[in-house]
């Protein structure tokens, strides 16, 4: 097995998230970081996108992930993203970090979650 990791770092998305209704009224800027572990053996041999995780497809999925949805907690959001990526893109493992910019005195607040097949 030729195991490796694909990282998408600080993908900017706009989702409705927050405990108070007022906070969820408008989408807010979040940064998503994903790490997806996969077996690269077939991709190394074939040099074909069909044999690996298409990170462009993952980013496009995540950019639209918040449409028509909202979450109170970024913990729930991170879990939903991890479960979706695992189901749709089939990495061996996925870790998701969601960064939120709600506390002015802090650079960001983040939650991380990991899932595996």
Catalytic residue numbers, as ranges: 100
CB count within 10 Å of CB 63 equals: 14
Specify the length of the chain in residues: 117
What DSSP state is assigned to residue 87? Answer: H
Q: Which helix (H) or strand (E) holds 100?
A: strand 93-100
| Among 5, 32, 3, 45, CA closest to 101 | 32
């Amino acid at each position: 097995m030729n195991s490796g990791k694909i990282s998408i770092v600080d993908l900017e998305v706009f989702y409705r998230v927050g405990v108070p209704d007022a906070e969820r009224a408008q989408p807010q800027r979040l940064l998503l970081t994903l790490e997806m572990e996969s077996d690269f053996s077939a991709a190394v041999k074939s040099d074909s996108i069909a044999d690996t995780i298409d990170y462009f497809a993952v980013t496009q999925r995540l950019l639209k992930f918040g449409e028509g949805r909202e979450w109170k907690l970024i913990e729930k959001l991170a879990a939903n993203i991890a479960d979706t990526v695992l189901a749709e893109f089939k990495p061996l493992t996925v870790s998701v970090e969601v960064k939120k910019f709600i506390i002015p005195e802090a650079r960001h607040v983040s939650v991380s979650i990991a899932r595996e097949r």
